Copies of this chain bind each other. A is one copy, B any other.
Amino acid sequence: MHYSFNTIGVVHSCFKDKFGVPRQPGLIAGARGEIELLPPYDRAEAVAGLEAFSHLWISFVFHHCLENDKRLSVRPPRLGGNKKLGVFATRATHRPNPIGLSVVALDEIVQYRGGIHLRVSGLDLVEGTPVLDIKPYLPYADCIVDAKAGYAQEPPLSVLKVDFSAEAQKGCAQYEQCWPGLADLIESVISLDPRPAYSRRIEPERVFGICLYDLDVRWRVKEEGVAEVVELCKVV
């Protein structure tokens, strides 16, 4: 059997590219974005009462992983990328049906440009993510304090200390007004070491770029356990 679903909303995120997006929601409280509701759901009526809830479940499509994927096993990054697990024992983005699930904090419901936008934080979704459903988070049903979670019991540790070059500090000061919390966001994103497990070598000359808001954040791993933000370039 197959079922067909329509997009009811789209995510606008501080993360403009896949690279740098946290691997679970809630890891970076300052990761902000909006869910724009699409017609015919772009009306206050569709979210009446939602303001009483602090958190939401978003069911979405992993739109960067739309190949028709029949793989049964994946290699989760949490295990260093060298151990295979069943696809249903992981939250890998490549899955039989590319359906994702994230809980985010609901900060504000705003109405502008004639539509409804849900301002959210703790986001782990990339710009343009198609949304299939939004449900309120119910702590009595959803919060299982003593759940056992094998290899993923604890959140991933921040693994990189993050320094800022003089140039990068200047950039942060310049853009902080436009994007409050920018330096903290950059530090949080890079400290989780977004590099794929297979490329976690120290290559001080190799510069990575992460797109946050309208900025290309250029950074490198300068020594064991220490990253440096090199510069912030406006994306034109």
Hey, which bits of chain A sit against chain B, CB under 8 A? Answer: 1-8, 24-27, 40-41, 43-50, 52-55, 57, 59, 61, 70, 72-73, 84-91, 95-99, 101, 103, 130, 132-155
A8-B97, A46-B73, A48-B85 are known; give 17 further A-B pairs, CB within 8 A: A2-B7, A3-B98, A4-B5, A8-B96, A41-B72, A41-B96, A46-B86, A47-B88, A48-B86, A48-B89, A49-B90, A52-B148, A53-B149, A96-B133, A101-B133, A139-B147, A140-B155
* A1–B129 alpha-carbon span in the complex (Å): 12
Q: How many Å from the CB of A219 to the closest CB on chain B?
A: 25
Instruction: Contact check, B2 vs A4: say whether CB atoms are below 8 A apart.
Output: yes
Instruction: Contact check, B133 vs A99: say whether CB atoms are below 8 A apart.
Output: yes
Residue of A44, A57, A88, A142 with most partner-chain B CB within 10 A: A88
Residues of chain B lying within 8 A (CB to CB) of residue A134: 88
